[in-house]
């Protein structure tokens, strides 16, 4: 009974932080950071000010593990596979090429700057796929610690915010059509919030294309999580990798299942939107739990190097994305 109360207390704390983050995320300027990263930062601030509370740890761990997976499953409601299909092969080609380029470049730069391997992987995945949500999904697959996940999520969000502002101011300079500008934003920016914010400079057509390209990158989270899980298992153990021992991220397949449900039209658009909101609350609670377990001092060791690698990598991704959109569109 006592343990159950402790779990509820910890969950309640992460819920309060998540809802505070949603409020903060609706404010000007803060909305480009994204609610997930804001929740993590509030959690870190609470940990720094209040200190560690052992009595809350079971509930915080529950939020970080189980609510995270549930949230990612429900996030599949945001992805309509039919939209990706109707957008055409060129949109898929842009998304895949930019994802592969970004993950390789950011990872190599991170290692060149002597960043820890797990932190390098998470920073690369966050930049290449879908920001903090990708970091949260990939971290358990490679058995990363909380500090690496927090540093990479914060770095990717900060860089995405900076590039969102640059893109918004550069719309008329780039000379893209609204659709091409949207594809450029969706292929190179990190969070869905960044993509929508930057795409708005080109109008409704740009935003729609930006979200389609971005969600195509989100769909690539499935093979990325599976591949990295297999790689982590293979590199960490000497015995052969059997099918029964595969680190299958079942929650990722739940994500695909929810995407299929949304695509089929079984539920209405308003119901799908509600479930997406629920997913962000749950993932926000998980990110709050992550922040509550991380000490700010952890950023002093690897944070600046990861940020530098992400900055150079994001700049390279912008140039590559410009070339990819110009070539395919």
pLDDT of residue 322: 96
Average confidence (pLDDT) over 195-216: 89
Residue 236 banded pLDDT, cuts 50, 70, 90? low
Q: Return d(Cα 80, Cα 87) in angstroms, integer.
A: 11
| Top-confidence range, 25-29, 181-185, 264-268 | 181-185
DSSP secondary structure of 161-207: HHHHHHHHHHHHHHT--HHHHHHHHHHH-SSHHHHHHHHGGG-HHHH
pLDDT of residue 97: 96
Q: How many domains does the chain have?
A: 1
Tell whether the model's pLDDT for residue 238 goes beyond 70.
Answer: no
- Mind listing the pLDDT tens digit for each residue in 115-165? 999 999 999 999 999 888 889 888 888 888 888 898 898 889 889 888 998
pLDDT of residue 245: 46
Q: In which domain, by residue range, is 310 found?
A: 2-328
Please report which residue ranges of the chain form alpha helices under DSSP H.
2-24, 35-50, 57-62, 68-75, 81-87, 89-112, 117-125, 131-138, 146-174, 178-188, 192-199, 204-219, 221-236, 250-264, 269-292, 298-328
Neighbouring CB atoms inside 10 A of 316's CB total 16
Q: What is the mean pLDDT of the chain?
A: 86
Indicate the range of 36-40, 213-217, 268-272 predicted with least confidence. 36-40
- Mind listing the pLDDT tens digit for each residue in 311-327? 999 999 999 999 999 99
- Is pLDDT larger for residue 295 or for residue 166? 166
pLDDT of residue 243: 43
DSSP state of 33: T
Indicate the range of 38-42, 104-108, 249-253, 305-309 predicted with least confidence. 249-253
| Token representation of residue 82 | 């039919």
Contacts with 43 (C-beta within 8 Å, 6 or more apart), sequence order: 14, 17, 287, 288, 289, 290, 291, 292, 293, 294
Q: Return d(Cα 218, Cα 79) in angstroms, integer.
A: 8
Indicate the range of 56-60, 162-166, 293-297, 322-326 predicted with least confidence. 293-297
- Mind listing the pLDDT tens digit for each residue in 90-110? 999 999 999 999 999 999 999
- Taking Cα atoms as reference points, which of 7, 62, 76 lies closest to residue 275? 76
CB of 324 closer than 8 Å to CB of 187: yes
- Taking Cα atoms as reference points, which of 171, 177, 183 lies closest to residue 84? 183
Tell whether the model's pLDDT for residue 246 goes beyond 80.
Answer: no
Please state, in angstroms and as integers, the Cα–Cα distance from residue 128 to each residue in 47, 107, 253, 301, following that order.
Answer: 29, 10, 20, 23
Tell whether the model's pLDDT for residue 263 goes beyond 80.
Answer: yes
């Amino acid at each position: 009974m006592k343990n159950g109360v402790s779990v509820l207390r910890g969950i309640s704390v992460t819920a309060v932080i998540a809802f505070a983050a949603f409020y903060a995320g609706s404010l000007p300027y803060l909305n480009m950071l994204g609610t997930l990263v804001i929740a993590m930062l509030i959690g870190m601030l609470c940990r720094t000010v209040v200190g560690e509370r052992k009595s809350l740890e079971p509930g915080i761990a529950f939020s970080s593990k189980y609510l995270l997976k549930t949230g990612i499953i429900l996030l599949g409601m945001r992805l309509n596979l039919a939209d990706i299909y109707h957008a055409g092969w060129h949109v898929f080609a842009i998304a895949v090429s930019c994802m592969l380029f970004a993950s390789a470049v950011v990872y190599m730069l991170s290692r060149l700057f002597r960043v820890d391997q797990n932190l390098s992987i998470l920073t690369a995945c966050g930049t290449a796929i879908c920001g903090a949500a990708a970091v949260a999904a990939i971290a358990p697959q490679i058995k990363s610690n909380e500090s690496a996940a927090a540093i990479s999520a914060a770095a990717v969000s900060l860089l995405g915010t900076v590039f969102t502002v640059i893109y918004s101011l550069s719309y008329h300079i780039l000379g893209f059509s609204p659709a091409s500008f949207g594809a450029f934003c969706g292929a190179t920016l990190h969070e869905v919030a960044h993509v929508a914010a930057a795409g708005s400079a080109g109008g409704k057509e740009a935003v729609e294309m930006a979200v389609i390209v971005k969600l195509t990158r989100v769909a690539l989270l499935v093979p990325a999580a599976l591949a990295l899980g297999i790689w982590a298992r293979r590199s960490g153990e000497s015995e052969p990798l059997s099918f029964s021992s595969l680190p299958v991220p079942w929650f990722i397949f739940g994500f695909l299942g929810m995407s299929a449900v949304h695509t089929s039209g079984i539920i209405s658009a308003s119901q799908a939107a509600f479930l997406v909101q629920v997913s962000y609350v749950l993932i926000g609670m998980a990110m709050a739990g992550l922040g509550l377990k991380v000490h700010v001092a952890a950023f002093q060791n690897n944070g600046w190097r990861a940020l530098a690698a992400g900055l150079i990598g994001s700049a390279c991704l912008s140039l590559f994305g410009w070339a990819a959109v110009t070539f395919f569109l």
